[in-house]
């Protein structure tokens, strides 16, 4: 028996730690009969770089290991990812993993309600499993408007080898992060309460538009005629939805945020803030160079395509450079185009996703709702400042993360559960720490209503939305029988809501924790358009919800470590034949104490020696 463990993700660990991790990985793989993923270790140095100047402006850009965008997390279903984040910036930092469901583990979610920030000059290690997920996602910093300065990057969760993907293996995959960009410092934008400035650019993988005199570089992808490529596109921007298209090329939409869709052929694709899609593009044109374009939606432009991200699709042996105008997309104010496309994006019920059984086997055809929330997003003025609200409540971030308050203080002094309305708006806007109870293992219907003159998008951590309906104008309960798609709604984590319209989703609340429900529009989020859903199960069994990690950070009202639990006796060294089986990572926190490591190393040595396992480190 030969066990091969990839080394591709390891950097800079100490030799001893690496050895320990190796042996643990071996041990888990050798001893656990369940389907467990690999251990992926990443070390990230997050800092501010003033030399990148993506659009020739001297501005701070947040880099990870000197990269902008940050490095790819390339993983497979059920892998365990360990990201040791060093905050080398001059301000606090938190990273979130957008769309990663953090099963039973909101401790790793990296938003202000779940984690204390990583202070400047310190590091903190996130450890999470990509449990039962596939697809394309992205990560970004969550506090202090930092996403407007960078710090984002792509995540791929590949199918396990035993599970078929519902399309032929592409020749190559490209990650494509697109987002609007300010031509000035994010630190300057945020002190104006995020409200005064509009973005000046749209960047493609951190690069300015092709042929602009301001661009330091432009993005380009090499393709060979006759081959098919997968583009994993995410909108990592701040405010604007985008329309994405490739000159003279069709796109086959295949996946969104972890669901394989019914495949549809598109000329252009709307990607709203925080969303991710995979499209297949076949290089079936005359070998030349072609424009790759993203333009903003619902924005008045002086000329069409005035603010466009522009990259190139470059065929092997192309001798013709691009010429002529950029390919036009739909009218940016054509909501019917966008709505019709959204309604055509449905779930392929018959294909497997992260598991071999069909994606559609868990569905909404016959569910009984436990709860309905009607959430109205709007703009208000509080104390003379613009604030974005949900049901006329603007979220105020307490200095103690909600999750810590819950664990150690029963919430007291930090938030009051269910203090604000979830079916209607308050008559006047208020400040509030909006936390609402979600019924564990209940079906929740959320209707998002958008009172803004702007496309909004909403995201829930911890779950997927079954996107059952979109509408323009007011929602009424009759919409359930006349406008909902119960047959094959797509399952995703970020959904758009059209100006003046509504979007309805169903969510199955099977994941206990403290979960952020937010506008992905950075300005709306930063100025209060968010709340938390507390899904609570009184059963303290850690198989239901994980206990806090060993490296838990404290802040606010939970300063001192809580009294230690009754100490457990240390395990005695095992006798040669008695082999303890380590708990699979899906149900137990990864052990980090040295004694724990030593114990694992010793016990694994016995296992490996006695079973003659060879380790091939190539
Ligand atoms: C990502 O991982 C998959 C599966 O291990 C591998 O086939 C692929 O080459 C990797 N891609 C990159 C860009 O590292
Ligand atoms: C900080 O990094 C060191 C290794 O350089 C690691 O041992 C330690 O666990 C990390 N701290 C946290 C809180 O993750
Ligand atoms: C793309 O092709 C050009 C030559 O046509 C080559 O110079 C360049 O290095 C290639 N880029 C990549 C990323 O392979
Ligand atoms: C490009 O040109 C090279 C050398 O002339 C040739 O070997 C290759 O097959 C060509 N590629 C395509 C896709 O035509
Ligand atoms: C776009 O311009 C029109 C006409 O000037 C105006 O009525 C509309 O409010 C503008 N929309 C946005 C989103 O700026
Ligand atoms: C759904 O997935 C199956 C593979 O299980 C595939 O054969 C079929 O073409 C897909 N349907 C659509 C509409 O994409
Ligand atoms: C939907 O789920 C039910 C069980 O709740 C199952 O019987 C049915 O086959 C599923 N529908 C599809 C299309 O898979
Ligand atoms: C639908 O759900 C109801 C109540 O949960 C149940 O009695 C009924 O058998 C279900 N119907 C189908 C077709 O599954
Ligand atoms: C915790 O707070 C809730 C109200 O939010 C209360 O019902 C419960 O009794 C409290 N539990 C303890 C142990 O204080
Ligand atoms: C929210 O508050 C504002 C200001 O008092 C009020 O005009 C508005 O009607 C309220 N919104 C709703 C939906 O009641
Ligand atoms: C609302 O919260 C802000 C802090 O976010 C604070 O400055 C302001 O005084 C609060 N206003 C009221 C009316 O409580």
Atom of ligand 5 nearest to the CA of 453: 13
The verdict on the CB of residue 125 being under 6 Å from ligand 2 is: yes
Q: Give pLDDT, residue 580.
A: 37
DSSP labels, 572-602: PPPPTT--PPPPPTTTSPPP-SHHHHHHHHH
pLDDT value at residue 603: 40
Q: How far apart are CA 336 and CA 334, in angstroms?
A: 6
Residue 550 is predicted with a pLDDT of 95
What tens digit of pLDDT does each residue of 48-76 get?
A: 999 999 999 999 999 999 999 999 999 99
The separation between the first and the last C-alpha atoms of the chain, rounded to the nearest angstrom, is: 15
Res 192: pLDDT: 84
pLDDT confidence of residue 197: 79
Which is the closest atom of ligand 10 to the Cα of 376?
Answer: 13
State the chain's mean pLDDT as an integer: 88
Query: What spacing in Å lies between the alpha carbon of 368 and ligand 8's midpoint?
Result: 9
Nearest atom (ligand 9) to Cα of 417 = 5
Can you say whether residue 441 is alpha, beta or left, with left for phi > 0 and alpha for psi between -120 and 50 degrees? Answer: left
Reported as a single tens digit per residue, the pLDDT across 507-548 is 999 999 999 999 999 999 999 999 999 999 888 776 789 999
Q: Is 453 in the pocket of ligand 5 (CB under 6 A)?
A: yes
Give dist(CA 315, CA 308) in Å, integer: 22
Percent of the chain with pLDDT over 70: 84
Helix or strand (DSSP H, E) at 342: helix 335-344
pLDDT recorded at residue 585:
34
Question: If residue 230 lies in a helix (H) or strand (E), which one and from where to where?
Answer: strand 228-235
φ and ψ at residue 204, rounded to 5 degrees: -120, 115
Q: DSSP 3-state assignment of 408? A: helix
- Contact call for residues 377 and 391 (beta carbons, < 8 A): no
Nearest residue (by CA) to ligand 7, atom 9, is 361
* Local structure of 134: helix, strand or coil: coil
Q: Which pTM value belongs to this model?
A: 0.87
Nearest to 136 by CA among 104, 99, 108: 99
Neighbours of 480 (CB within 10 A): 17
Q: Band the pLDDT of 250: cuts 50, 70, 90.
A: very high
Query: In which element (H, E) is residue 191 found?
Result: helix 186-191
pLDDT at 198 over 80: yes
Question: What tens digit of pLDDT does each residue of 92-121 get?
Answer: 999 999 999 999 999 999 999 999 999 999
Say whether pLDDT at 562 is over 90.
no
Ligand 10, residue 391: give the atom nearest the CA.
13
User: Which residue out of 17, 117, 125, 127 has the highest number of ligand 2 atoms within 8 Å of its CB and is therefore the one to mutate?
Assistant: 125
Beta strands in 36-160 (DSSP E): 39-49, 61-64, 73-76, 80-87, 95-98, 123-129, 135-141, 153-158
Pairwise CA distance, residues 411 & 431, whole Å: 18
Token pair 């497997």 is found at 352
pLDDT for the residue 604: 37
What ligand is nearest to the CA atom of residue 264? 6
Taking the C-alpha atoms of residue 550 and residue 174, their distance in angstroms, rounded to an integer, is 36
Q: What is the mean pLDDT of residues 211-237?
A: 96
pLDDT in tens, 147-186: 999 999 999 999 999 999 999 999 999 999 999 999 999 9
pLDDT band at 439 (very low <50, low <70, confident <90, very high): very high
Q: Is the predicted pLDDT of residue 9 greater than 60, yes or no? A: no
Q: What is the mean pLDDT of residues 369-383?
A: 96
pLDDT value at 29 more than 60 = no
Distance 74 CA to ligand 1 centre (A): 6
Structure confidence by residue, pLDDT tens digits, 254-281 = 999 999 999 999 999 999 999 999 999 9
Confidence (pLDDT) at 568: 59
Distance 543 CA to ligand 7 centre (A): 27
């Amino acid at each position: 028996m030969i066990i091969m463990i990839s080394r591709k993700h390891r950097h800079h660990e100490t030799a001893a730690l690496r050895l320990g991790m190796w042996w643990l990985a071996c041990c888990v793989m050798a001893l656990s009969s369940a389907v467990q993923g690999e251990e992926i270790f990443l070390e990230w140095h997050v800092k501010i770089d003033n030399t990148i100047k993506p659009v020739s402006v001297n501005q701070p850009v947040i880099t990870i290991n000197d990269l902008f965008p940050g490095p790819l997390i390339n993983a497979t279903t059920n892998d365990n990812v360990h990201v040791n984040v060093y905050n080398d910036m001059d301000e606090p930092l938190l990273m979130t993993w957008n769309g990663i469901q953090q099963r039973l583990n909101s401790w790793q979610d990296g938003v202000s309600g779940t984690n204390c920030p990583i202070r400047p000059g310190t590091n903190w290690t996130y450890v999470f499993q990509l449990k039962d997920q596939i697809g394309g996602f992205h990560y970004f910093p969550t506090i202090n408007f930092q996403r407007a300065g960078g710090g984002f990057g792509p995540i791929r969760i590949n199918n396990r080898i035993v599970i078929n993907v519902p399309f032929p293996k592409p020749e190559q995959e490209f990650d494509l992060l697109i987002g609007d960009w300010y031509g000035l410092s994010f630190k300057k934008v945020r002190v104006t309460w995020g409200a005064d400035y509009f973005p000046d650019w749209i960047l493609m993988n951190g690069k300015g538009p092709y042929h602009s005199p301001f661009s330091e570089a432009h993005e380009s992808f090499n393709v060979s005629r006759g081959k098919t490529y997968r583009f994993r596109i995410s909108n990592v921007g701040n405010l604007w939805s985008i329309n994405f298209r490739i000159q003279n090329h069709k796109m086959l939409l295949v996946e969104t945020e972890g669901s394989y869709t019914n495949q549809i052929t598109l000329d252009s694709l709307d990607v709203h803030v925080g969303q991710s899609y995979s499209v297949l593009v076949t290089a079936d044109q005359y070998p030349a160079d072609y424009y790759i374009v993203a333009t903003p939606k619902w924005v008045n432009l002086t000329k069409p395509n005035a603010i466009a991200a522009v990259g190139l699709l470059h065929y092997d042996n192309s001798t013709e450079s691009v010429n002529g105008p950029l390919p036009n997309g739909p009218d940016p104010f054509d909501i019917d185009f966008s709505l019709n496309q959204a309604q055509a994006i449905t779930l392929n019920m018959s294909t497997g996703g992260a598991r071999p059984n069909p994606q559609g086997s868990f569905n909404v055809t016959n569910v009984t709702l436990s709860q309905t929330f009607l959430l109205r997003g709007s703009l208000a003025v509080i104390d003379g400042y613009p604030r974005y609200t949900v049901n006329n409540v603007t979220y105020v971030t307490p200095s103690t993360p909600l999750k810590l308050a819950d664990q150690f203080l029963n919430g007291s002094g930090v938030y009051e559960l269910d203090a604000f309305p979830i079916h209607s708006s308050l008559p006047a806007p208020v400040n509030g720490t909006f936390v609402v109870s979600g019924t564990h293992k209940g079906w929740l219907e959320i209707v998002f209503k958008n009172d803004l003159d702007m496309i909004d998008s909403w995201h829930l951590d911890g779950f997927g939305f079954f996107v059952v309906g979109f509408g323009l104008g007011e929602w009424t309960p009759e919409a359930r029988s006349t406008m909902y798609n119960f047959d094959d709604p797509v399952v995703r984590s970020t959904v758009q809501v059209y100006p003046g319209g509504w979007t309805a989703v169903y969510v199955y609340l099977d994941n206990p924790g403290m979960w952020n429900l937010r506008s992905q529009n950075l300005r709306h989020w930063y100025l209060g358009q968010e709340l938390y859903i507390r899904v609570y199960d009184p059963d303290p069994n850690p198989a239901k919800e994980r206990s806090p990690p060993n490296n838990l950070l404290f802040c606010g009202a939970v300063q001192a470590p809580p009294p230690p639990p009754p100490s457990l006796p240390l395990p005695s060294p095992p006798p040669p034949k008695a082999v303890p089986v380590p708990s699979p990572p899906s149900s137990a926190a990864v052990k980090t104490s040295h004694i724990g490591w030593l114990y694992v190393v010793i016990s694994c040595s016995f296992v490996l020696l006695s079973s003659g396992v060879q380790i091939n480190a190539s």
